[in-house]
Amino acid sequence: MSFAGAVLDRIYPVASKFLGNPVGWVSDRLRGFLWSKQREIAQAVVDHRRVAVKSSHGIGKSFIVAQLAAWWTDVHPVGEAIVVSTAPTNDQVGAILWEEIRAAHRHGELPGEVGLDNRWRIGKVLVGMGRKPADYNPHTFQGIHRRYVLVIIDEACGIPAQLWTAVEAITTNEHCRIVAIGNPDDPSSEFAKVCRPNSGWQVIGVSSFDTPAFTGEPVPAGLLELLPSREWVEDAKRRWGEQSPLYQSKVLGEFPENADDTVVPLSWAEACRNLEQPLPGDGPVELGVDVGAGGDETVIRERRGPAVGRVWRNQSRDPMEVVGLVVQCIHATGATSVKVDVIGWGWGVWGRLVELRTEGTHAAIVHPVNVGEASTDPARWPLLRDQLWWGVGREASEHQAWDLGGLDDDTVAQLTAPKYTLDSKGRVKVEPKAETRKRLGRSPDDADALLLAYYVPPVSVGEGLVEFYEPVSISNF
């Protein structure tokens, strides 16, 4: 007997006609509209036990699975069905997906109550729950035994393998369904594995180029404004470059390759942007200053302990105007340390900032950083630039030792762009900045300033003498 036919006689008449028709249910019950790819996803959940959706940014991922959660609850018998959702963080569970579910519940005047605890109850019966299991404990899902179980894995790249196994354990009968959806940013994830051919999953890909702005599909004007626009895609292409992992993931909806020669893999950077527990921002406040030259902009980045802070930019070619901006930033942030890239006319910026400190204009220690000089550990890195990118960028990302929650996509694209090789001595050599610029179409000034903000420079004695070097290490954050 079919999925729909097996239970038709057990559903009240109004709901029975929508048991195998979630698209019709959304239209009738919620007076809503699903565009073509959303309709494909909805029907796939009817026809297949396991559905994986890898999608570009902004296509309404959480919206469509919220509609499916509401449909599932409404068309199945109370007490015999349940919706279970999970996501990497509590905010992704409650503030995104379950907020959409609460909205669907209100619009459709559906039975029961959906609380801020991400629980849907009809009377005393629990019919839906969203949770981020503590420490990804697979036992959290134990004890869920219903005939009709729908599991939603949102932001699926961030869900570890043991939870996928736990989800399979509660969806063993033919009436159960799993839908996993997310932006494909981690090619080493379990989500990437289920999206491969012959995985046993029905896989649906959604690119920005599949959306109505590109296909011409007629949709309500209000919906069109929420989906990727041609302008956004062109801007992403210009800012990130078509070869960028960020472009491949967020625009094309495809898993980028975690190339062996990438200094900071996109998956590591994204993990640092989506920490479950934000790292405390009560450490030292420090600034990194990448001084623009040859048409590049000057970028000033703040960090507070391990947490990324604010950013300031300036296009001026006047070094003293840049000095003035740095002084303003010192006063605004209370920074105690400023690291200035002194290549080019950055040397003059550093020198004037040192003078102003002597005059009492500000109290921050100002460190000159010449990334073209030898590293502090020549056995590992030839140059200081190699040391910054590897010893700060890669190692902090790998161990999630810095909190990049406030980092914008453009800086992530820059951070994940550089590649590296090994020299004849087995030392890490990061590609020249010109090569990164060529691939990105712009200079990675934001990323350079970010690394300077986290760099632990030599400790100065007085205003120019070096006493010793502290190694660049994640432990220094």
Calculate mean pLDDT across residues 226-246.
91
Calculate mean pLDDT across residues 327-344.
95
Neighbours of 220 (CB within 10 A): 11
In angstroms, the CA 411 to CA 426 distance is: 29
Q: In the prediction, which pLDDT does 94 show? A: 77
Q: In the prediction, which pLDDT does 156 show? A: 93
In angstroms, the CA 456 to CA 199 distance is: 46
**282-299 pLDDT per residue, tens:** 789 999 999 987 667 899
**pLDDT of 132 over the 80 cut:** no
In angstroms, the CA 184 to CA 266 distance is: 10
Question: C-alpha 40: how far from its chain's center?
Answer: 25
Task: Specify the pairing of strand 202-206 against strand 420-422.
Answer: unpaired
Domains of the chain: 8-230 (3.40.50.300), 274-476 (3.30.420.240)
Q: How confident is the model at residue 139 (pLDDT cuts 50, 70, 90)?
A: low
Residue with tokens 């109550």: 113
**pLDDT of 375 over the 50 cut:** yes
Q: In the prediction, which pLDDT does 242 show? A: 87
**pLDDT of 454 over the 50 cut:** yes
**242-280 pLDDT per residue, tens:** 888 889 999 999 998 766 789 999 989 998 998 878 887
**pLDDT of 209 over the 50 cut:** yes
Q: In the prediction, which pLDDT does 138 show? A: 62
**pLDDT of 316 over the 50 cut:** yes
Calculate mean pLDDT across residues 60-73.
96
Q: In the prediction, which pLDDT does 109 show? A: 95
**pLDDT of 378 over the 70 cut:** yes
What is the number of residues in the chain? 477
Task: Specify the pairing of strand 285-290 against strand 337-341.
Answer: parallel
Q: In the prediction, which pLDDT does 131 show? A: 83
- Name which of 14-28, 129-143, 330-344 the model is least confident about: 129-143
Residue with tokens 């796939």: 44
- Backbone torsions φ then ψ of 179, nearest 5 degrees: -130, 120
Instruction: Give the pTM.
Output: 0.76
Cα–Cα nearest to 353, from 375, 377, 374, 369 = 369
* Residue with more model confidence, 413 or 442: 413
Report the chain's mean pLDDT, rounded to a whole number.
Answer: 88
**pLDDT of 10 over the 70 cut:** no
C-alpha distances (whole Å) from 290 to each of 16, 73, 149, 327 are 63, 54, 53, 15
Find all residues with CB under 8 Å of 319, minimum gap 6, and list them.
291, 345, 348, 349, 352
Query: Tokens for 419?
Result: 């590649």
Q: How confident is the model at residue 475 (pLDDT cuts 50, 70, 90)?
A: very low
Question: C-alpha 288: how far from its chain's center?
Answer: 23
Helix 22-29 with 36-47: angle, nearest 10 deg: 120
Find all residues with CB under 8 Å of 249, minimum gap 6, and list them.
56, 183, 184, 185, 255, 256, 266
Helix H or strand E encompassing 72: helix 61-75
In angstroms, the CA 283 to CA 286 distance is: 9
Calculate mean pLDDT across residues 432-436.
88
Calculate mean pLDDT across residues 21-46.
96
In angstroms, the CA 31 to CA 60 distance is: 17
Find all residues with CB under 8 Å of 144, minimum gap 6, and list them.
82, 84, 170
Handedness of CA 311, 317, 320, 321 (dihedral sign): negative
In angstroms, the CA 17 to CA 11 distance is: 9
In angstroms, the CA 85 to CA 74 distance is: 16
**388-401 pLDDT per residue, tens:** 999 999 999 999 99
Q: In the prediction, which pLDDT does 163 show? A: 87
Query: Tokens for 235?
Result: 């801007």
